[in-house]
């Protein structure tokens, strides 16, 4: 269900009056909310060794021996990793998706939520399970999996050769490669990290270690000719198929594009590369000098620096960016377009741009209270608990999902009210 179909009428609604455990339940775990804010859910112990999921004031009919990993998909379906009689299965809105198996974990979704995947282990073999269907070919190990934006493809790093105990020479011959939809790349590498799809889902780039001391990027199993002291996560240009990645040369970080230096290595750190949708500008978190982090756009760093910068978010049109600056996990600031908003907080969550890119919202925490900010200004009251705000399609309203006085409330607020 798209954002435009959600209830955007300004005002507040109490979705669940009391979040106290339902009578008879042993305990209720931490709450999760649906993207549209209409549902709050939690794992509940209904009896000794018997678990279920509470959604608003009802409880799933099915019960399980164990439940963990509660997650809402972007389209609002509620998923949980459940165990019954020693076997595991993904349960979606109370119903199992696919067959049970030895183990599943790491639930992921396509961008619109229509595809749901997990890691999968059966008979000591590993793969990805998409909408309840495991890959046909499974491997000795698979990790670091990812889904394409439309969910049509899944890729991971597979171990394709067994390794004896402490076999360091065997390791150096390469035992890892990328596997896409269960089909492995022909080449093997000492290590492979963080495979990433392009926008179409047809191409995959990954960090590879072709020899003991060399690191580079491989695109569809073709390593760049140049190697580096270290590399971080590559990303595809959203349109032209080129690939960029942070690379380390002689102790300094820069960016390489298709194997050629794009940003001359001069940073103490450079990571989290991002393009906006048009691919017009390239953004990154950089450290222009030791211990001083900021954001750079096309290799031009913002003036403001912090000991730590995380959660870079680029506006849909690629021209603006926001990030979180902090001092070793304290004194959090939201930084937008190179300027920190006034408030200083105990914690912060990633900012979000409205679809038009004009307004920015974020959630922060101060003295144990969650605060919703739009363009730096707080909502009129803070909450015992809340989730990051979401803009309406026209950017004129924000959805606030929060808990106050033990009730779960859903608030639609006009941006103009901030």
Instruction: Name the site residues for another protein (rule: CB under 8 A).
Output: 26-27, 29-30, 45, 48, 66, 68-69, 103, 105-106, 119, 121, 126, 141, 143, 159, 165-169, 171, 176, 190-191, 193, 209, 212-213, 215, 229-230, 248, 250-251, 268-269, 271, 287, 290-291, 293, 307-308, 310, 328-330, 346-347, 349, 365
Q: State the DSSP string of 233-302.
A: --EE-TTT--EEEEEEETTEEEEEETTEEEEEEEESEEEEEEE-TT---EEEEEEEETTEEEEEETTEE-
Alpha-carbon gap, residue 146 to 196, rounded angstroms:
7
Nearer to another protein, 144 or 242 (CB): 144
* CB of 107 vs another protein, minimal distance in Å: 10
* CB of 416 vs another protein, minimal distance in Å: 29
* CB of 209 vs another protein, minimal distance in Å: 7
Nearer to another protein, 82 or 415 (CB): 82
Query: Is the Cβ–Cβ distance between 173 and 188 less than 8 Å?
Result: yes
Nearer to another protein, 73 or 392 (CB): 73
* CB of 317 vs another protein, minimal distance in Å: 27
Contacts of 269 (CB under 8 A, 6+ apart): 253, 285, 286, 287, 293
Angle at 365 between CA 360 and CA 369, to 5 degrees: 120
Show the tokens assigned to 248.
């380390």
Alpha-carbon gap, residue 309 to 324, rounded angstroms:
6
* CB of 147 vs another protein, minimal distance in Å: 15
* CB of 323 vs another protein, minimal distance in Å: 12
Nearer to another protein, 69 or 279 (CB): 69
Give Rg (Cα) of the chain: 23
Alpha-carbon gap, residue 80 to 207, rounded angstroms:
31
Q: Give the CA distances from residue 135 to residues 121, 130, 139, 358, in Å, rounded to whole numbers and listed in that order.
A: 10, 8, 10, 43
Distance, first Cα to last Cα, the chain: 28
Nearer to another protein, 134 or 318 (CB): 134
Q: Which of 303, 95, 301, 102 is nearest to 119 (CA)?
A: 102
Q: In this structure, what DSSP letter does residue 225 have?
A: S
* CB of 286 vs another protein, minimal distance in Å: 9
Nearer to another protein, 39 or 305 (CB): 305
Nearer to another protein, 45 or 56 (CB): 45
* CB of 290 vs another protein, minimal distance in Å: 6
Nearer to another protein, 346 or 393 (CB): 346
Contacts of 99 (CB under 8 A, 6+ apart): 89, 132
């Amino acid at each position: 269900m798209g954002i435009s179909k959600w209830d955007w009428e300004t005002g507040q609604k109490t979705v669940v009056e009391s979040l106290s455990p339902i009578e008879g339940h042993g305990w209720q775990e931490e709450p999760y909310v649906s993207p549209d804010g209409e549902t709050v859910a939690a794992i509940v112990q209904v009896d000794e060794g018997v678990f279920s999921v509470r959604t608003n004031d009802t409880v799933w009919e099915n019960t399980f021996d164990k439940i963990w990993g509660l997650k809402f998909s972007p389209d609002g379906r509620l998923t949980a990793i459940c165990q019954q009689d020693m076997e595991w299965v993904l349960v979606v809105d109370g119903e199992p998706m696919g067959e049970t198996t030895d183990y599943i974990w790491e639930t992921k979704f396509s961008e619109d939520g229509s595809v749901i995947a997990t890691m999968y282990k059966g008979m000591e073999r590993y793969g990805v399970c998409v909408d309840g269907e495991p890959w046909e070919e499974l491997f000795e190990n698979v990790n670091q999996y990812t889904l394409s934006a439309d969910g049509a493809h899944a890729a991971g790093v597979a171990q394709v050769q067994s390794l004896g105990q402490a076999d360091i020479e065997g390791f150096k011959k390469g035992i890892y490669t990328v596997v896409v939809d269960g089909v492995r790349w022909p080449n093997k590498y000492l290590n492979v990290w963080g495979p990433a799809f392009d926008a179409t889902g047809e191409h995959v780039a990954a960090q590879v270690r072709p020899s003991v001391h060399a690191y580079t990027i491989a695109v569809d199993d073709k390593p760049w000719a140049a190697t580096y002291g270290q590399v971080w996560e590559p990303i595809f240009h959203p349109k032209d198929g080129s690939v960029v990645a942070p690379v380390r040369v002689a102790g300094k970080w820069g960016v390489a594009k298709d194997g050629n230096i794009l940003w001359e290595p001069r940073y103490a750190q450079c990571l989290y590369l991002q393009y906006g949708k048009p691919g017009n500008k390239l953004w990154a978190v950089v450290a222009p000098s030791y211990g001083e982090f900021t954001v750079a756009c096309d290799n031009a760093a913002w003036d403001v620096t912090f000991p730590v910068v995380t959660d870079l978010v680029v506006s849909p049109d690629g021209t603006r960016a926001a990030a979180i600056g902090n001092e070793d996990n304290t004194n959090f600031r939201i930084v937008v377009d190179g300027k920190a908003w006034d408030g200083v907080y105990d914690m912060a969550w990633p900012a979000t741009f409205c679809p038009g890119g004009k307004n920015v919202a974020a959630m922060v925490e101060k003295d144990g209270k969650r605060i919703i900010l739009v363009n730096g200004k707080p909502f009129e009251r803070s909450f015992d608990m809340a989730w990051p705000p979401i803009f309406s399609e026209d950017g004129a309203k924000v959805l606030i999902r929060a808990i106050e006085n033990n009730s779960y409330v859903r608030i639609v607020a006009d941006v103009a009210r901030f």
